[in-house]
């Protein structure tokens, strides 16, 4: 086991981890949360959320996680990704792994109310936004796969105590569905829970790119930060005009069809920005431009409040584009230079905070909003 220690303003974080294909330097940096529930955050260097990342590096992580799955899989499977951070990760792993099963669908949890039938709700107790919603697919075939599924594959960027996964599993198994589940597989970039997760009747297997543990030594004299209220699910539904063909309402296959008019030029450095949970289709756009030869980076807006410093070198704050009236943020782009920025949203152009657009134009004069209008 390797050891690492980091002193932060509200305490000291001690980390132990096992060396494998990935080290902690490959996977994350540390930041401090504006959250009194948990003082620190592992900021992923391969997720494409809070640190801009090349699409090829993101794709490699999807492939590496997929390769951790057992080789003797069969039957039908339901993949579930955790909002908002792991929605894109879950989609990537799903599309790399779905052919290992007879049939498979992807569902993602969401913090947005949808005009569809609710499957279940669960809590992420330590989070800045505790409430998660999961909706049933509208498609009859996908509902049948969900009913027949013998395997659940649950995906998040990290597992710490495992409590969120426990809450999710309990919520799913207490519905009228998932009566045929024979095994549960948990896939994460990082697994800090050495004890794993157990269920009385169903075996649970955990796989990660890096395994270890951490211990937090709090500074009892430190003043906890105030946290903005971002635990909101109500919104103006009319603002969401994008096709729901990537996860929230179930998906079996997702087309790369966003902004087909844009091409990547080898002499350009392009930043593609997803918006909160709208990650997969923007990622496919970024990956396409990278394959065409452009120097591409991908990141996303978020409702996660993180303190400036350490892994967070710059912060932009603005009002969300979903009509929820909450602050959103984007990290680690304001101090960098890009030739072009593509901001991808599933809402109308008018829903974007003008102050956010002004901040993007301060980085580069070539900003284009990509939406479904």
Q: What is the DSSP string of 29-73?
A: EEEEBS-TT--EEEEESSSSSSS-B-HHHHHHHHHHHHTTS-S--
Residue 215: strand pairing partners: 14
Q: What is the largest CA-CA distance in the chain?
A: 58
Closest C-alpha among 99, 107, 102, 20 to residue 66: 99
**For 241, which DSSP code?**
-
What CA–CA distance (Å, rounded) separates 122 from 110? 11
CA triple 64-188-176, angle to 5 deg: 120
Backbone phi, then psi, for 43, in 5-degree steps? Answer: -90, 110
Residue 292 corresponds to which tokens in the numbers above? 């065409």
One DSSP character per residue, 276-294 reads TTB-HHHHHHHHHHHHTT-
**SS3 state at 43:** strand
**Helix segments in 15-54, DSSP class H:** 24-27
Q: Identify each DSSP E strand in the chain by its residue range.
A: 2-8, 11-17, 28-32, 40-44, 76-81, 103-108, 118-123, 131-135, 151-159, 183-191, 204-218, 269-275, 295-301, 315-319, 327-331, 340-344, 367-370
**SS3 state at 359:** helix
pLDDT of 238 reads 56
Cis check for the bond before 286: say yes or no (omega within 30 of 0): no
* Contact between 93 and 65 (Cβ < 8 Å): yes
What CA–CA distance (Å, rounded) separates 330 from 107? 25
Quick one: how many helices (H) and strands (E) in the chain?
7, 17
Backbone phi, then psi, for 180, in 5-degree steps? Answer: -110, 15
Closest C-alpha among 39, 204, 231, 34 to residue 132: 231
What CA–CA distance (Å, rounded) separates 68 from 212? 17
Asked whether the CA dihedral 370, 345, 361, 267 is positive or negative, the reply is negative
Domain ranges (residues) in the chain: 254-370
* Contact between 132 and 111 (Cβ < 8 Å): yes
**What is the fold, at CATH topology level, of the domain defined by 254-370?**
Rossmann fold (3.40.50)
Residue 241 corresponds to which tokens in the numbers above? 């005009």
pLDDT tens-digit map of 282-302: 999 999 999 999 999 999 999
**For 344, which DSSP code?**
E
The residue count of the chain comes to 373
pLDDT of 137 reads 94
CA distances from 168 to 14, 79, 122, 133, 371 (A): 28, 13, 6, 10, 32
pLDDT of 128 reads 47
What CA–CA distance (Å, rounded) separates 46 from 60? 9
pLDDT of 23 reads 87
CA distances from 195 to 198, 204, 249 (A): 9, 12, 33
Query: Mean pLDDT of successive 10-residue segments in the chain (373 residues)?
Result: 83 87 91 80 95 98 96 94 94 97 96 89 61 91 96 95 91 92 96 87 94 87 64 61 89 94 93 96 98 97 92 96 91 97 95 97 97 82
């Amino acid at each position: 086991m390797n050891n690492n220690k980091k002193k932060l303003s509200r305490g000291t974080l001690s980390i132990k981890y096992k060396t494998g294909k990935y080290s902690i330097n490959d996977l994350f940096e540390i930041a401090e949360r504006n959250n009194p529930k948990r003082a620190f955050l592992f900021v992923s260097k391969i997720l494409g959320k809070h640190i801009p990342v090349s699409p090829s590096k993101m794709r490699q992580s999807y492939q590496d996680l997929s390769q951790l799955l057992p080789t003797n899989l069969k039957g039908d499977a339901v993949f579930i990704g955790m909002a908002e951070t792991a929605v894109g990760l879950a989609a990537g792993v799903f599309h790399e792994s779905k052919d290992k099963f007879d049939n498979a669908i992807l569902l993602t949890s969401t913090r947005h109310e949808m005009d569809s039938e609710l499957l279940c709700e669960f809590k992420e107790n330590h989070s800045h936004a505790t409430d998660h919603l999961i909706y049933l697919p509208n498609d009859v075939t996908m509902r049948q796969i969900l009913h027949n599924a013998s395997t659940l594959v649950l995906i998040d960027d990290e597992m710490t105590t495992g409590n969120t996964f426990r809450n999710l599993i309990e919520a799913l198994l207490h519905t009228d569905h998932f009566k045929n589940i024979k095994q549960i597989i948990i896939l994460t970039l990082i697994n800090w829970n050495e004890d794993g997760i157990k269920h009385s009747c169903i075996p649970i297997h955990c796989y990660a790119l890096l395994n270890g543990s951490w211990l937090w030594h709090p500074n009892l004299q430190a003043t906890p930060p105030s946290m903005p209220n971002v635990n909101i699910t109500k919104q103006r539904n009319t603002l969401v005009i994008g096709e729901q063909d990537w996860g929230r309402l179930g998906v079996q296959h997702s087309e790369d069809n966003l902004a087909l008019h844009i091409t990547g030029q080898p002499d350009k450095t392009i930043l593609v920005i997803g918006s909160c949970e709208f990650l997969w289709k923007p990622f496919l756009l970024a990956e396409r431009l990278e394959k065409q030869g452009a120097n591409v980076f991908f990141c996303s807006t978020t409702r996660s409040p993180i303190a400036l410093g350490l892994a967070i070198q710059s912060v932009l704050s603005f009002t969300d584009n979903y009509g929820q009236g909450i602050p959103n943020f984007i990290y680690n782009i304001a101090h960098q230079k890009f030739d072009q920025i593509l901001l991808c949203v599933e809402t109308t152009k008018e829903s974007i905070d003008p102050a956010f657009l002004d901040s993007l134009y301060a980085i580069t004069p070539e900003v284009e909003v990509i939406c479904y209008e």
